[in-house]
Amino acid sequence: MTRTTDVTQPLRIALAGLGTVGAGVIRLLESNAELVTARAGRPLQIVAVSARDRSRDRGVDLTPYDWVDDMTEMAARDDVDVVVELVGGSDGPALALARNATGHGKAFVTANKAMIAHHGLELAAAAESAGTSLKFEAAVAGGIPVVKGLREGAAANAIEKIYGILNGTANYILSTMEDSGADFGATLKDAQELGYAEADPTFDIEGVDAAHKLAILAAIAFGSRVNFDAVQCEGISRVRAADIAQADALGYVIRLIGMADVETAQDGARALLQEVKPCLVPKGHPLANVTGATNAVVAEGNFSGRLLFQGAGAGDGPTASAVVADLIDIARGETGAPFSVPSDSLEAVQPAHSGHRIGQAYLRFAVTDKPGVLAEITAAMRDAEVSIESLIQQGRANHGGEVLVAMVTHHGPESGVSKAIELLRDSASLTAPPLVMRILED
């Protein structure tokens, strides 16, 4: 939908958050002012800014803008048309600012994936009721226009599946482990020293960040209510260098994959599966060649076929680019349902379970080096009716006598693998919980 807009007047912006992305937005609007004005149909003008520390040098000139100590007050200003939130956090001041903005009829732009994943439905309903815009392209995959791609470019398609690499930190660690042969701990430390990982990397390496993004994408793709709590989440901290090497020998790479699809029962009821888990990806698959701190999203439409969105998933430039793209849409008067369909039409889809799904899996066991262990594992596979395609005993992994046993299953229900793992849960032979990774179909 396009609203009538006075294109003779600039779009007046209040900017909350002056970290790397906020400063990047200012630099982009300064550097590309003529281009942005031409494409937006009118100038984009920052009138007010807010951040925690007024004295900090951010490498940009803030003197042209009003400083606001309490960012939640910016939404009430008469000289503001749109509020941009780059503070972060699912609740607190960011959420208060979002509510104030829509409450005052102001358009709202955010890069805050956690807030949209937890409160997106509420904020979308408020924006629609106020007749204003809620936009969050920068919340998912940085500078990659995947939200716009799904909402607009693929709007004519029924999306059958959406999946991809949604966290650059995890992808950097895994692809660096491939290149270096180093184990997870050493690679994470190096990533922190280089600035690719936070001092507390939990959200990145345990899949929470990717889960926030997946919940948002699933809502757009399938017309469902955002349901972050239903995302099944597992990170990469248990992936070892030995797993990377074994995957390579088998013709795969390991990637942290967020995946969502919908099952439809005979009575028409739908169930939504949302998972973030490390997977073995065939080397011929488009995602296998995504390395470093890059994001990539695959959407499979019933008429478009496979669509691939790939690019920088974070950083001041790419994220600022996505923020300003949303501002250009607002300046043009373009609006519409934030999640593709009106919020009151979003379906409360029940979570699906993957146990009945057919596929192959990679299993790795760390066990004590003693006779009979391999027989114990294969007996559990037999009792769970899991067929083994290949099995590799890798020898000692350390001086404590631990050995690694890896196997790939034939195609079969995932419930069988779960049953086998349960049968081995109390085994004294296991020195660590088994690692199970789905093999992504090519």
In contact, 378 and 347? CB cutoff 8 Å: no
**Across 167-176, 181-190, 273-282, 387-396, least confident range:** 387-396
On whether residue 318 sits in a domain, the answer given is no
Q: How far is 439 from 442, CA to CA, in rounded Å? A: 9
Domain count, the chain: 3
Q: How far is 145 from 220, CA to CA, in rounded Å? A: 13
Q: What is the mean pLDDT of residues 208-222?
A: 97
- What is the rounded average pLDDT for all residues in the chain? 93
Please report the pLDDT score of residue 442 as a whole number.
Answer: 74
pTM of this prediction exceeds 0.85:
yes
H helix runs in 32-167, sequence order: 33-40, 92-103, 113-130, 146-148
Q: Is the per-residue pLDDT at 5 higher than 90?
A: no
Same domain, 16 and 116: yes
Give the strand pairing for 66-67 and 44-50.
parallel
Please report the pLDDT score of residue 1 as a whole number.
Answer: 52
**Residue in 213, 277, 283, 370 annotated catalytic:** 213
In contact, 312 and 267? CB cutoff 8 Å: no
Q: How far is 15 from 48, CA to CA, in rounded Å? A: 6
Q: Is the per-residue pLDDT at 314 higher than 90?
A: no
Please report the pLDDT score of residue 336 as a whole number.
Answer: 85
Q: Give burial (CB, 10 Å; 0-12/13-18/19+) of 344.
A: exposed
Q: Which two tokens stand for residue 353?
A: 């379970």
Question: How far does CA 39 lie from the centroid of its chain?
Answer: 29
Q: What is the mean pLDDT of residues 339-360?
A: 92
Same domain, 71 and 25: yes
Same domain, 104 and 160: no
Please report the pLDDT score of residue 399 as a whole number.
Answer: 47
pLDDT-based confidence at residue 6 (cuts at 50, 70, 90): low
pLDDT-based confidence at residue 171 (cuts at 50, 70, 90): very high
In contact, 128 and 343? CB cutoff 8 Å: yes
Read off the amino acid at residue 426: D
On whether residue 331 sits in a domain, the answer given is no
Neighbours of 379 (CB within 10 A): 14
Range of the domain at 65: 11-139
Q: Which of 86, 108, 139 is the last residue of a domain?
A: 139
Residue 310 dihedral angles phi and psi, to the nearest 5°: -145, 145
Same domain, 17 and 64: yes
Please report the pLDDT score of residue 290 as a whole number.
Answer: 96
Q: What is the mean pLDDT of residues 160-180?
A: 96
Q: Is the per-residue pLDDT at 339 higher than 60?
A: yes
In contact, 112 and 137? CB cutoff 8 Å: no
Task: Look up tokens 């281009």; give the residue.
Answer: 35
Q: What is the mean pLDDT of residues 299-317?
A: 92
Same domain, 211 and 230: yes
Q: How far is 82 from 284, CA to CA, in rounded Å? A: 44
Question: Which CATH number do you get for residue 24?
Answer: 3.40.50.720
Q: Give 385-438 pLDDT, tens digit per residue.
A: 999 999 887 655 554 578 999 999 999 999 999 999 999 999 999 999 999 999
Question: Which CATH number do you get for residue 207?
Answer: 3.30.360.10
Same domain, 132 and 153: no
148 is catalytic: no
Same domain, 219 and 245: yes
Mapping DSSP to helix (H, G, I), strand (E, B) and coil, where does residue 323 land? helix
Q: What is the mean pLDDT of residues 93-117?
A: 96
On whether residue 346 sits in a domain, the answer given is no
Q: How many helices (H) and strands (E) does the chain have?
A: 13, 19
Q: Which two tokens stand for residue 329?
A: 């849409």
Q: Which of 252, 283, 312 is the last residue of a domain?
A: 312
Q: Which two tokens stand for residue 226?
A: 């955002």
Q: How far is 41 from 26, CA to CA, in rounded Å? A: 19
Q: What is the mean pLDDT of residues 335-346?
A: 92
Q: Which of 119, 139, 159 is the last residue of a domain?
A: 139
